[in-house]
Amino acid sequence: MEQPPLPQAPLPPPTVQERLTRPFVAYVLLAVTVILYLLQMASEAFLGTDLPALLGMKINEYILAGQVWRFFTPALLHGSIMHIAFNMYALAVIGAPLEQRFGHGRFLALYTAGAFSGNVFSFLLSADASLGASTAIFGLLGAEIVFFYQNRRILGSRARAALQNVLTIAGINLLIGLSPGIDNWGHLGGLAGGLLFTWFAGPQLLLEGMYPSFTLTDERGESASLFALALVFAFFGALALLKFGGIFAL
């Protein structure tokens, strides 16, 4: 008479660890932006004018005169306490988790790409002066969209839920941007810059290890960030040159 097979112990559930970087750059950017806003307030109080804004905000005539730093510096300046509070909250909530996955250098390159591409779009399509970190913040939203899309097979339902959430946030903010006085062209440009940068330089997650312990590693690494940043500069810089050359006029 055959003996029944001995019961086997259930297999332990798989565990997945992800190598994350402690955020640092996002908080440095936040601190620098707040300090500059305090300088803006002090300048208005003691000089009667916002000198940092005059020197750094996006003003098309000054850019056409050669002050090309204004494609970057508006992301460090703000027009009101509510303006900076909203953007710095977004930087902390969205930027810090992104930096954990992107790493310090790649996150800084992403933030720069969003600021540059957003201000180029605004330069091309809006005659109004503008300032604010929302160009770079929309770059972060674009990065999240690409990251969760490219890693949807690894992250599964978590990626689908996150992707839906990010798309909803971006859509709502673009609708809000239709209100008077908001530079929605800058938002769209920042979003496009973040999408382009992350498509070529965002983390590509790879599952490594043996059951039941796995580790999520970044197959791409930060080495691609310089190429992607150069690509963003080349593409949006070429668009800006259309206006410098008088080919594109608004």
User: CB-side exposure of 112: number of CA atoms within 13 Å?
Assistant: 16
- Give Cα 158 distance to the centre of its chain: 20
DSSP strand E in the chain: where? 15-18, 205-210, 213-218
Among the options 122, 130, 134, 225, which is catalytic? Answer: 134
Question: In angstroms, what CA-CA distances link 81 with 1, 62, 127, 130?
Answer: 83, 26, 24, 16
Burial classification of residue 168, based on how many CB atoms lie within 10 Å of its CB (0-12 exposed, 13-18 middle, 19 or more buried)? exposed
* Contact between 81 and 36 (Cβ < 8 Å): no
Among the options 78, 117, 130, 187, which is catalytic? Answer: 187
Q: Are strands 205-210 and 15-18 parallel, antiparallel or unpaired?
A: unpaired
The two three-digit tokens of residue 172, written as one number: 């709502």
CA–CA gap between residue 7 and residue 189 (Å, rounded): 61
Active site residue 187: yes
State which amino acid sits at residue 141: L
Active site residue 83: no
In what helix (H) or strand (E) does residue 83 lie, and over which residues does it extend?
helix 81-90
Q: Are strands 205-210 and 213-218 parallel, antiparallel or unpaired?
A: antiparallel
- Give Cα 175 distance to the centre of its chain: 19
**Which residues have a catalytic role annotated?**
134, 187
